């Protein structure tokens, strides 16, 4: 049987077993699912600005496309990002999705404009030494050149993981001239431009990967349990 990460930690504590270790300075991954066509999203986009430059957080803005039909097509929207959000919902037994939504560490879902809940959840992830697995992840090189990725699961992995490469643009202001946000000028931060898998990893051997990261977009590597599970590690070059 596959247990959620929180339940695994609780079971370890009850049975007196060792719990997974984590690098205390590993940043927390925060995904914002947003849309230029959603009237409820601008407050979340504004809150997201506070997260975009934090070193202890990797904030990724994923623009969905399922609100495009109401009068304004999101200029950053992509069906892949909608699919990722829907996959989170399915993994948790839900049939519907909403914006704005933040997913913290691949585990906790929070209304994206609820500042107290968002900041509190991030603090919990930063302070919880059992939250991510014992994966040491390094990303070296510079965007526009060769990137070298190396990951080591010194204590092994309980489940297979996906190693994912994400690129994002730092910022862009959009003048919205249609739909629910008609007339608004919104600054968007950390706009995800691509998200692709570099393959599955079982943690037995050290994971090494080299690639040319063309363009100026920042580079993020995300190691996440398969099936939209916990994010075990994330690292960034920008």
Q: Any idea what DSSP says for residue 20?
A: P
Per the structure, how many domains does the chain have?
1
The residues, ordered by sequence, that sit 6+ positions from 59 with a Cβ below 8 Å of its Cβ are 30, 32, 48, 51, 52, 189, 190
Across the strands, what pairs with 231?
A: 224
Distance of CA 116 to CAs 47, 111, 156, Å? 11, 10, 35
Q: Note if the pTM is more than 0.85.
A: yes
> Which tens digit of pLDDT belongs to each residue from 123-167?
999 987 665 557 999 999 988 899 999 999 988 998 999 999 999
Q: Where does the pLDDT of residue 73 fall: very low under 50, low under 70, confident under 90, or very high at 90 and above?
A: very high
CATH of the domain at 70: 3.40.30.10
Q: Domain span at residue 171?
A: 5-237
> Which tens digit of pLDDT belongs to each residue from 174-198?
999 999 999 999 999 999 999 999 9
Q: Where does the pLDDT of residue 35 fall: very low under 50, low under 70, confident under 90, or very high at 90 and above?
A: very high
């Amino acid at each position: 049987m596959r247990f959620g990460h929180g339940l695994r930690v609780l079971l370890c504590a009850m049975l007196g077993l060792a719990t997974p270790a984590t690098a205390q300075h590993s940043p927390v991954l925060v995904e914002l699912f947003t849309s230029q066509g959603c009237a409820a999203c601008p407050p979340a986009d504004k809150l997201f600005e506070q997260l975009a430059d934090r070193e202890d957080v990797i904030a990724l803005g994923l623009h969905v496309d399922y609100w495009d039909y109401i009068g304004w097509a999101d200029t950053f929207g992509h069906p892949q990002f909608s699919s990722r959000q829907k996959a989170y919902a399915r993994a948790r037994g839900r049939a519907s999705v909403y914006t704005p939504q933040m997913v913290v560490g691949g585990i906790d879902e929070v209304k994206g404009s609820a500042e107290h809940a968002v900041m509190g959840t991030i603090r919990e992830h930063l302070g919880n030494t059992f939250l991510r697995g014992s994966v040491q992840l390094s990303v070296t090189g510079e965007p526009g050149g060769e990137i070298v990725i190396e990951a080591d699961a010194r204590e092994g992995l309980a489940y297979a993981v996906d190693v994912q490469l994400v690129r994002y643009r730092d910022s862009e202001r959009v003048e919205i001239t249609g739909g629910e946000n008609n007339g608004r000028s919104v600054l968007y931060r950390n706009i995800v431009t691509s998200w692709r898998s570099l393959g599955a990893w079982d943690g037995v051997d050290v994971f090494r990967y080299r690639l040319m990261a063309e363009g100026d977009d920042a580079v993020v590597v995300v190691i996440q349990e398969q099936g939209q599970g916990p994010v075990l590690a994330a690292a960034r070059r920008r």
